[in-house]
């Protein structure tokens, strides 16, 4: 069995914590590990190396987070843009069949929470047996409340005591209907987790959605290797229809079955789900960070770097980040996506990246910005290097606050240690490298008539970004936050 980890979502309903270029699956929402890492770590040891499908903008994040938990991928497939789960699963299936042998796929979203891992493993054994019989298996979550945010599965007859035939798929119900489903005992939540053979999935996809099958086959056959990744060509993938596994295959096939799963599962799809899965105090509040409440009940609060206080309120969600604060009623958190759409329409960058922006070499945080100047805190990982570059309109002052920096400035190359500084004149070719064993931290003060990132000319880069000419500069100010994928990712594990 080969795990297929689908990691292309944006998690917009968990804004402002989740952003397009650093979405929820890469954040430690429950515990110290990220959702993506937890998904990898709950896999049974006997499974094969996973296939990961992700947006190309997240490739370095995926590589680093896999390296951190000691997991090696069979392949990391990069989508130039999202086309939903049906094409993503098809790409993974083509990858698996490339070896010449059909294998069962365990298709998992990267952002689910499963507390009872042994129960998940037991259900997986049943699902594998059903998939070996040619069935397309969907895990159905045994409901414990009348949830209106999930689709439902109507159970049919038993299949060999391993699973249940799928009688019907039901869209998200209203509350009264959800209560009827719960009382009947015949309905399960649709988890979006599947077990099926790669060949069977492609057979059914070709029958019911031939356009998706043909486009994905063409794209996969023309993908090219880029370091540790496989890039799907945008020119062919752009024609792929956008559809989910459920709509494309599961609602049409005659071989759909469901295995009930009772493992304290959550898709962590909204802030109300975060409140559900976290421990609460005597007033039913789930509090994280420096938070103090007085006469507050049923609230979820996630602080960041400042004191957050609540007084005399109930059932609120309060989320504080470096550059945005959201306050919502718990009953309205499904509408956070509407708020994000409005922010996108206003071209607000707060939906795209956090104030601290991650790069393959480390990160930077814009701590101050004004007319003709910008101040950044830059962190460079041990052994990592920024690109060799120059600017036409700004100069830079670098002050080392931790670690050792190797600086290239024109024809000179020299070392700087803590409390030492240097000046990079306008137009001078320069580079910053961390040759040491600890994180390098510097304060960068930019000054000049223009500080936009299209004033970066990159001459050489260790992460395959050379020649981007400012489209994706090593540093990016708050006015230029929508740049390319290379610039918004955090890993330094893939070297040139």
| Distance, CA of 389 to CA of 358 (rounded, Å) | 18
For residue 357, name the pLDDT band (cuts at 50, 70, 90).
confident
Summarize the confidence of residues 304-312 as an average pLDDT: 95
Question: What tokens does 340 get?
Answer: 């994000």
pLDDT at residue 465 in the model: 62
In the predicted structure, residue 240 carries a pLDDT above the cut 60: yes
Please, where in the chain does CATH 3.90.550.10 lie?
Answer: 2-266
CA separation, residue 270 to residues 304, 317, 382 (Å): 19, 10, 36
- φ and ψ of 243, to 5 deg: -160, 155
pLDDT at residue 148 in the model: 87
pLDDT at residue 215 in the model: 96
Contact 110, 233 (CB under 8 A): no
Summarize the confidence of residues 138-161 as an average pLDDT: 93
pLDDT exceeding 90 applies to what percent of the chain? Answer: 83
For residue 455, name the pLDDT band (cuts at 50, 70, 90).
confident
In the predicted structure, residue 98 carries a pLDDT above the cut 90: yes
In the predicted structure, residue 219 carries a pLDDT above the cut 80: yes
| Distance, CA of 136 to CA of 133 (rounded, Å) | 9
pLDDT at residue 9 in the model: 86
355-488 classified as CATH 2.60.120.10: yes
In the predicted structure, residue 245 carries a pLDDT above the cut 80: yes
Contact 357, 373 (CB under 8 A): no
Please, where in the chain does CATH 2.60.120.10 lie?
Answer: 355-488
Q: Lowest-pLDDT range, 24-28, 103-107, 196-200, 459-463?
A: 459-463
Residue 422: in which H helix or E strand, if any? strand 421-424
Helix axes 210-221, 198-208, angle to 10 degrees: 130
3-state secondary structure of 385: strand
User: Which CATH number applies to 2-266: 3.30.70.260, 3.20.20.70, 3.30.450.40, 3.90.550.10?
Assistant: 3.90.550.10
In the predicted structure, residue 424 carries a pLDDT above the cut 70: yes
Residue 297: burial class (beta carbons within 10 Å; 0-12, 13-18, 19+): middle
pLDDT at residue 466 in the model: 53
- Per-residue pLDDT of 249-293, as tens digits, reads 999 999 999 999 999 999 998 999 999 999 999 999 999 999 999
| Distance, CA of 251 to CA of 198 (rounded, Å) | 18
Give CA angle at 84 (190, 265), nearest 5°. 30
Taking the mean position of all CA atoms in its chain, how far away is CA 354?
Answer: 14
In the predicted structure, residue 475 carries a pLDDT above the cut 90: no
| Distance, CA of 295 to CA of 183 (rounded, Å) | 35
Mean of pLDDT over the chain: 91
pLDDT at residue 359 in the model: 87
Which strands form 394-402's sheet, in the order they lie side by side? 356-359, 362-370, 373-380, 440-448, 394-402, 421-424
3-state secondary structure of 149: coil
Find all residues with CB under 8 Å of 125, minimum gap 6, and list them. Answer: none
């Amino acid at each position: 069995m080969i795990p297929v980890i689908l990691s292309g979502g944006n998690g917009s309903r968990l804004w402002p914590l989740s952003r397009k270029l650093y979405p929820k699956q890469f954040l430690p929402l429950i515990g110290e590990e990220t959702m993506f890492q937890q998904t990898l770590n709950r896999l049974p040891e006997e499974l094969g190396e996973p296939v990961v499908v992700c947006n190309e903008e997240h490739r370095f994040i995926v590589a680093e987070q896999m390296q951190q938990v000691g997991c090696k991928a069979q392949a990391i497939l990069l989508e130039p843009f999202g086309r939903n789960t049906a094409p993503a699963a098809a790409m993974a299936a083509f990858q698996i069949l490339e070896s010449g042998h059909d294998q069962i796929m365990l298709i998992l979203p990267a952002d689910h929470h499963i507390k009872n891992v042994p129960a998940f493993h037991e259900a997986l054994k049943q699902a594998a047996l059903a998939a070996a019989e040619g069935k397309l298996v969907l895990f159905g979550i045994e409901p414990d409340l009348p949830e209106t945010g999930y689709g439902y599965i109507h159970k049919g007859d038993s299949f060999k005591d391993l699973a249940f035939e799928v009688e019907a798929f039901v869209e998200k119900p209203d509350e009264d209907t959800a209560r009827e489903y719960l009382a009947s005992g015949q309905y399960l939540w649709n988890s979006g987790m599947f077990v099926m053979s790669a060949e069977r999935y492609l057979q059914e996809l070709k029958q019911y959605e031939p356009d998706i099958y043909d486009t994905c086959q063409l794209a996969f056959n023309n993908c090219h290797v880029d370091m540790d990744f496989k890039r799907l060509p945008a020119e062919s993938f752009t024609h792929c229809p956008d559809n989910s596994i459920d709509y494309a295959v599961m609602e049409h096939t005659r071989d759909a079955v469901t295995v009930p799963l009772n493992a304290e599962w959550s898709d962590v799809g909204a802030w109300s789900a975060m409140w559900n899965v976290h421990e609460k105090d005597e007033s039913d509040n789930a509090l994280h960070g420096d938070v103090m409440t007085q006469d507050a009940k049923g609230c979820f609060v996630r602080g960041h770097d400042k004191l957050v206080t609540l007084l005399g309120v109930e059932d609120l969600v309060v989320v504080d980040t470096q550059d945005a604060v959201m306050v919502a009623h718990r009953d309205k958190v499904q509408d956070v996506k509407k708020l994000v759409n409005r922010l996108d329409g206003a071209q607000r960058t707060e939906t795209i990246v956090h104030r601290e922006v991650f790069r393959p070499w480390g990160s930077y945080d814009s701590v101050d910005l004004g007319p003709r100047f910008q101040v950044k805190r830059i962190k460079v990982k041990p052994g990592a290097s920024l690109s060799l570059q120059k600017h036409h309109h700004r100069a830079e002052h670098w002050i080392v606050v931790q670690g050792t920096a190797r600086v290239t400035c024109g024809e000179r190359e020299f070392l700087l240690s803590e409390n030492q500084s240097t000046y990079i004149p306008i137009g001078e070719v320069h580079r910053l490298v961390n040759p040491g064993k600890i994180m390098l931290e510097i304060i960068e003060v930019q000054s000049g008539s223009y500080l936009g990132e299209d004033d970066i000319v990159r001459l050489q880069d260790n992460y395959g970004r050379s020649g981007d000419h400012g489209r994706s500069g090593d540093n990016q100010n708050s006015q230029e936050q929508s740049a390319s994928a290379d610039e918004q990712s955090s890993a330094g594990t893939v070297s040139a």
